[in-house]
A and B are shown apart, each in its own frame.
Chain A
Amino acid sequence: MNELRCIAEALAATSSLVWLVPLLPLLAALSISVRLGFAVSGDAAEPATAGLARGAALAVLLLLATIVLGSFAVEAPRVVERGDWMDVPGVNVPISFVLDRLSLSVACVVAFIGWATLHFAVAYLHREPGFHRFFLALCLLLGGMLLLVLAGNAVVSFVGWELCGISSWMLIGYADERPTATGNALFGFITNRIGDAGFLLGIGLSFWWLGSVEWSAVASGAIPETVKARLLVLGFVTAALAKSAQLPFTPWIARALEGPTPSSAVYYGAVMVHAGVYLLLRCEPLLLQVPDMMAALAVAGAATAIYAWLCGRVQTDVKTALLYATVSHVGLMVLACGLGWFALAQGYLLLHALWRGYQFLMAPSYLLLAPSQPAPLPRWLATNTFLYTAALQRFWIDRVAHGLLTRPTLSLGRDVREFDDRVLDRLIGAPREQALGAGSPVQGNGVAGRTLLRISDLLQQFETRLVLEGEGGAMARALQRVGAALKAIEALLEQPRYLMLMVMATFVVII
């Protein structure tokens, strides 16, 4: 009995190593990028890269399993702190990790899917030109996801959140020779940035109103004013909706399928999409304070579920259909959160992520595995022309967003650019295209540049006239004049009568 106790305590002690969990994949990513810097390529280099990534994922999985076992045995410390990240007066951000049922369960699922997917990708991407780049992005995403899930405060979570964003951008734009891929990567990234803005708003407001960004403080933060609480929740909810591709942010995830393989689709299809729901679960007590935001969440979730279900029905390829199915299920989770059924949402999240991961990895083989043709569309959808077209066109969200957001922003940008070109650049004298390369090297643009040019002209004149010109310069002329005068005096002195005069004068002085 006593020995068991010892083992349990040893297991529990591993929870202080939780910082290694997000760090290991990030270190793997770092070493892969160093290898990339040395321009590794070819078949021979692949096992090392894959080994680094898989080793890190496996180590993370084992470590997490130990921590979970330990937390079963002994009541593990719920928050592990590892020093301060920032400690400016008024802003204190510790590097803290939270270990509770929510974070540990989600982290385990994430690590497991990550490990499985890395295994899958080794064969799938064999001899692809971007093999190393792909593993780099996968490791980055895994590390980011784990950091996001395990972080004990909003700022550290946000670091993970951003790592996910940037690595999904890398994954979507994997085929960087195809313009659609890079365009879609950018689209996904920018949509996610809207959510990031919400997250940052939440972080800033919690600093301001709660004085702390620890999840424990944020979530339970009792803010008496409903307006403030609503604003705080609005930030986090926007972030969650964008990351989880809920309406009105859904279009990015359909475009994210531009990624090369099921493996990357797994990541943002089965893992990253759930990050938003995770964030909602984390903020549970905070959400409960603001019932109207919960209602809005429920509406958004329900609308997304219906929308994604309709769109998914009319798809003809496996990956897109799977993706819409995912989105509609995530919509249901958001609906559950909105209705206050958080425990249900959590269970749903874990099971759905695992199941969807399996499906995405199987997607390339579905045509072989499927015994027969897929079921035809139901009659009511097939005959309703409007609904069918709408579903096929994904309810024109892209186009509406383009008309309402992108076009006005673009034309505003053009106007600002024009103002910049016509007024500001001329005033400040920002170097123009032609300034580099052609014309005299010394030229001044703008007010500042022209003033400098004028002053430098004056100084150069001064320098040339007074200092540099040996012959004919002002200094030399003055010297010559003095020299001539001295010469004249000397010539006079050389004449005998003046010499005599000098001698006599000397005698007079002496006497």
Chain B
Amino acid sequence: MLRAFLLLPLLGALLVAVFPSRRPEIIRRAALAVSAASLLFALTLVFLFDPALAGQQFFETRPWNPRVGSSFSLGVDGISLPMVVLAALLCFVAMLVSTTISSSAKFYFSLLLVLETAMFGVFMARDWSLFYVFWELTLIPLFFLIDRMGGANRHRAALNFVLYTLGGSVFMLVALLLLYDAAPGHSFAMADMAQGGRGLPPATQLLIFAGLFIGFGVKMPVFPLHGWLPLAHVEAPSPISILLSGVLLKMGSYGLIRASETLPGAMLAVQDWLAALALVSLVYGSVLAWRQTDLKRMVAYSSVAHMGVVLLGIATLNVTGLGGAVFQMTAHGLAAALLFLLVGALYQRTHTRELGEIGGLIGRAPRLTFLLSLALLSAAGLPGGAGFIAELHVLVGGFDRWGGWVAVLSLGVVISAAYALRVTGRLCLGGTPHADPLPDLNRAEYAAASALALGIVVVGVYPAPLLALSAASVREIARLFGG
């Protein structure tokens, strides 16, 4: 079942590839239909999923390369399922708002569908070699999408992005091989490797963990490894920014959770350092986001800060904090996607992303204004938005572990409120109005944006179902650390 789900977008990509390239609208419709089908499939999975069970569900495996012990195994649990749904939703949204692509639609939509398959693969793989393959597979479509369709500095951004990620994943590969070598089973299956990894001496675990952390830390990104992010986010076309920040970043934190499952000894040893790194990322990202006048760049840096919250939640290693981290992954996925969508729409209309050059939106584009304010405020952790629930969980979990140190998180929240309110104030309420006519969001954009906004509010006001979805799996992980 998961196999069909995984291959659906790939088949869609093949289908799109054979369409005549003169008819971009048909290609777009076809791609949209495929991603809508994937989204429905993902929602069906949610209905069939039993949140009471901690283990993998819909698990299927078949040998892939028996000589080295790799297998093609797929499965979802309470941590990966929200990510799968998020990926499906954001892919659909990204295709829905890609209305201006016409010249190279075939190229664009087929790559987007390949990317969707790769993202599903990362979240559903139950074998580290398969995970690695899909991890690398995301790079190829993204490189071409940024390099061909991006902004002025697109070549540099694409190269930078791929080099950073490849550099990180080399470390990850080495670490995985080390683990494969050190663990007794000689199998790449996640369950086997986890069993082997838990038995390793702490020093070996630490070494392996360091490699994995560099790989995942680049993707997340964590403070000194985030150099690719502002460039790539700013230069990528806005549907790609939606996916980059909404889903691709979560791959890093998702991998980190899987790594902590595999190497609990190392995780316990570096717990405090991870928290320190998380707090630095948080404040660093918030301050830089506050500093930017380019809206897209601001959202990009705010992603660094929000992923800092995720890292802090993971580092707590207790049920509350981990639950908050998993929740924040969804919450930030929705909020960042909404922000990039709206900023992209704004850029399309005004051809500028400079905060100083746009203003007075409220009378001219009320839908855009309302949704933008909502997205900014919920990203800043306003109660009623999804981010608040996540931050609260992480705060409570972190307080159990480190006491007053988590006040730094509040500092980050205060700074994020400062830039959120500044943007709301200048862009929506005051400021110098942009000279050109400014049409409001069109129907496709409005539908996509309000779906995301609705998601943020619903999850924020009634978080219980989403928390319950991942509760069992989170408890299972926390049990490893006695939390």
Judged by a CB distance under 8 angstroms, whether A463 is at the interface is yes
Residues of B within 8 A of A457 (CB): 291
Judged by a CB distance under 8 angstroms, whether A452 is at the interface is yes
Residues of B within 8 A of A431 (CB): 425
Q: A436-B430, A441-B356, A441-B426 are in contact. Are A459 and B288 (CB under 8 A)?
A: yes
How far apart are the CA atoms of A456 and B355 in the complex, in Å?
17
Judged by a CB distance under 8 angstroms, whether A86 is at the interface is no
Q: Mark B362-387, 1 if CB is under 8 A from A, else 0.
A: 00000000000000000000000000
CB contacts under 8 Å to B, within A431-472, are: 431, 436-438, 440-442, 452, 455-457, 459-460, 463, 467-468, 470
Residues of B within 8 A of A442 (CB): 290-293
B460 → A minimal CB distance (Å): 23
Do A456 and B287 touch (CB < 8 A)? yes
Do B430 and A468 touch (CB < 8 A)? no
How far apart are the CA atoms of A436 and B432 in the complex, in Å?
10
Q: Mark B277-311, 1 if CB is under 8 A from A, else 0.
A: 00000001001101111000000000000000000
Residues of A within 8 A of B418 (CB): 452
How far apart are the CA atoms of A53 and B355 in the complex, in Å?
50
Q: CB within 8 A of B426: which of A437, A452, A460, A467?
A: A437
CB contacts under 8 Å to B, within A414-443, are: 431, 436-438, 440-442
How far apart are the CA atoms of A468 and B431 in the complex, in Å?
30
Do A467 and B226 touch (CB < 8 A)? yes
Judged by a CB distance under 8 angstroms, whether B359 is at the interface is yes
CB contacts under 8 Å to B, within A461-491, are: 463, 467-468, 470, 475
Q: Mark B23-64, 1 if CB is under 8 A from A, else 0.
A: 000000000000000000000000000000000000000000
Residues of B within 8 A of A459 (CB): 284, 287-288, 291
Q: A437-B431, A467-B227, A468-B231 are in contact. Are A456 and B426 (CB under 8 A)?
A: no
Judged by a CB distance under 8 angstroms, whether B177 is at the interface is no
Do B291 and A456 touch (CB < 8 A)? yes
B49 → A minimal CB distance (Å): 38
The binding surface of chain B is classed by DSSP as: helix
Do A440 and B356 touch (CB < 8 A)? yes
How far apart are the CA atoms of A310 and B150 in the complex, in Å?
85
Do A468 and B291 touch (CB < 8 A)? no
Among B156, B160, B291, B429, the one with the most A-chain Cβ atoms within 10 Å of its Cβ is B291
CB contacts under 8 Å to A, within B58-88, are: none
Task: Classify chain A: how many residues form its interface, as a range.
Answer: 10 to 19
Residues of A within 8 A of B284 (CB): 459
How far apart are the CA atoms of A467 and B359 in the complex, in Å?
31
Q: A440-B293, A459-B287 are in contact. Are A470 and B430 (CB under 8 A)?
A: no
B390 → A minimal CB distance (Å): 24
A459 → B minimal CB distance (Å): 5
Residues of B within 8 A of A441 (CB): 293, 355-356, 422, 426
Do A436 and B291 touch (CB < 8 A)? no
Do A456 and B288 touch (CB < 8 A)? yes
The binding surface of chain A is classed by DSSP as: helix
Do B426 and A455 touch (CB < 8 A)? no
Q: CB within 8 A of A436: which of B160, B288, B426?
A: B426
How far apart are the CA atoms of A440 and B356 in the complex, in Å?
7
Residues of B within 8 A of A437 (CB): 359, 426, 430-432
How far apart are the CA atoms of A479 and B231 in the complex, in Å?
19
Among A455, A456, A468, the one with the most B-chain Cβ atoms within 10 Å of its Cβ is A456
How far apart are the CA atoms of A290 and B282 in the complex, in Å?
63
Q: Mark A198-231, 1 if CB is under 8 A from B, else 0.
A: 0000000000000000000000000000000000
Q: Mark B382-423, 1 if CB is under 8 A from A, else 0.
A: 000000000000000000000000000000000100100010
How far apart are the CA atoms of A467 and B290 in the complex, in Å?
18
Residues of B within 8 A of A436 (CB): 425-426, 429-431
How far apart are the CA atoms of A459 and B291 in the complex, in Å?
9
Closest to B229 in A: A467
Residues of B within 8 A of A440 (CB): 293, 356
How far apart are the CA atoms of A73 and B234 in the complex, in Å?
80
Judged by a CB distance under 8 angstroms, whether B230 is at the interface is yes
Q: Mark B208-241, 1 if CB is under 8 A from A, else 0.
A: 0000000000000000001100110000000000
Closest to B228 in A: A467
How far apart are the CA atoms of A431 and B293 in the complex, in Å?
18
How far apart are the CA atoms of A457 and B290 in the complex, in Å?
11
Do B227 and A468 touch (CB < 8 A)? yes
How far apart are the CA atoms of A377 and B356 in the complex, in Å?
72
B425 → A minimal CB distance (Å): 5
Q: A441-B356, A467-B227, A468-B227 are in contact. Are A452 and B290 (CB under 8 A)?
A: yes
Closest to A440 in B: B356
Residues of A within 8 A of B415 (CB): 452
Do A468 and B426 touch (CB < 8 A)? no
How far apart are the CA atoms of A431 and B290 in the complex, in Å?
15
Q: A437-B359, A442-B293, A470-B160 are in contact. Are A455 and B430 (CB under 8 A)?
A: no
Residues of A within 8 A of B431 (CB): 436-437
How far apart are the CA atoms of A436 and B428 in the complex, in Å?
11
How far apart are the CA atoms of A52 and B450 in the complex, in Å?
35
Residues of B within 8 A of A438 (CB): 432
Do A470 and B290 touch (CB < 8 A)? no
CB contacts under 8 Å to B, within A346-392, are: none
A302 → B minimal CB distance (Å): 54
How far apart are the CA atoms of A157 and B430 in the complex, in Å?
44
How far apart are the CA atoms of A176 and B425 in the complex, in Å?
29
Do B287 and A455 touch (CB < 8 A)? yes
Closest to B153 in A: A470
Q: A436-B426, A436-B431, A441-B355 are in contact. Are A456 and B290 (CB under 8 A)?
A: yes
Closest to A456 in B: B291
A258 → B minimal CB distance (Å): 34
Residues of A within 8 A of B227 (CB): 467-468, 475
How far apart are the CA atoms of A354 and B310 in the complex, in Å?
67
Residues of B within 8 A of A468 (CB): 227, 230-231
Residues of A within 8 A of B355 (CB): 441
Closest to A437 in B: B430
How far apart are the CA atoms of A475 and B167 in the complex, in Å?
14
A453 → B minimal CB distance (Å): 8
Residues of A within 8 A of B430 (CB): 436-437
Q: A441-B355, A456-B290 are in contact. Are A470 and B156 (CB under 8 A)?
A: yes
How far apart are the CA atoms of A468 and B231 in the complex, in Å?
8
A270 → B minimal CB distance (Å): 44
- Can you give 24 contacting A-B residue pairs, CB < 8 Å? A436-B425, A437-B359, A437-B426, A437-B430, A437-B432, A440-B293, A440-B356, A441-B355, A441-B356, A441-B426, A442-B291, A442-B293, A452-B287, A452-B290, A452-B415, A456-B288, A459-B284, A459-B287, A459-B288, A460-B288, A460-B291, A468-B227, A468-B230, A468-B231
Q: Top 3 nearest A-B pairs by Cβ distance?
A: A467-B227, A456-B291, A437-B430
Contacts A438-B432, A460-B288, A467-B227 known; 8 new A-B pairs at CB < 8 A = A436-B430, A436-B431, A437-B432, A452-B418, A456-B290, A459-B284, A459-B288, A459-B291
Q: Which residues of B come within 8 Å of A, CB atoms?
A: 156, 160, 226-227, 230-231, 284, 287-288, 290-293, 355-356, 359, 415, 418, 422, 425-426, 429-432
Q: Which residues of A come within 8 Å of B, CB atoms?
A: 431, 436-438, 440-442, 452, 455-457, 459-460, 463, 467-468, 470, 475
